[in-house]
Structure 1
């Protein structure tokens, strides 16, 4: 291993030191700067609103939620209602909740089902990871974390104790 001993300029003066001296960035600061640049680039390239059809024929640019942050869709003979809290949904990594009500064709609650939610941001190709919903009252509840503001698709998968599996997708827009 050889050391650099040729003259070079540092701060306007010539030196022959083995290595330049001066302010150095720490490893953590360099990583934070790189992460900031990557996030900015991802945000700039993903800001175009393109239609991405979901499993129920909608697009990620339109929210399915009403003013109370609720939406209902049907699949495989089940009626699935998603309620998001806080209302309106917020991005940025703060944990919220997703309430899921599942009713059969007769309008009765479906107890004992396995319910999972999977948030994803289609425009950014970003997934939030599956969350298993726990029974709560006549429905189910799961933690919902939206990593950043923007258009999200929440896929709700219901596997009832008896009957056919249902997969329903809801579009929503998370605010700052």
Structure 2
């Protein structure tokens, strides 16, 4: 950040009084500009024994497969964000279920939140950010072509829980990646 979004003056990086971390502070108007982690929300759209995946039409990880997910918007819940992202990326309508994974990705200042969801029908198609969308049984998942480690981690938990007939909430963290974790 170089300029204050309130008055346009050049900001300085310093620790404000009463704080412990460096922040972008405007010496002209006194505004403190906090930069906080981004929240990524998504869904595991289920239809019988298959799940819906999207092949990315955008970077990062163009051409790789992922669950429908993206950055949460202001004034929406995580469930609303997951439903919106599924509609945008897969043109699919879902009933959002329970929270399934929460994965911290501190090296890129993100938190990834994925809900289980039920596809309401089989009407789906690639949205603007997807090359294709398809339903996959566990044995057909393109594991070598999964875009993000958070998605691979979520899918492994999902299929393991399904085998045991007991879905539970999972948390975790991702260290520095061999491939990207940005949506």
Q: TM-score, normalised by structure 2?
A: 0.25
Q: Which has the larger radius of gyration?
A: 1
**Structure 1 or 2: more helix by fraction:** 2
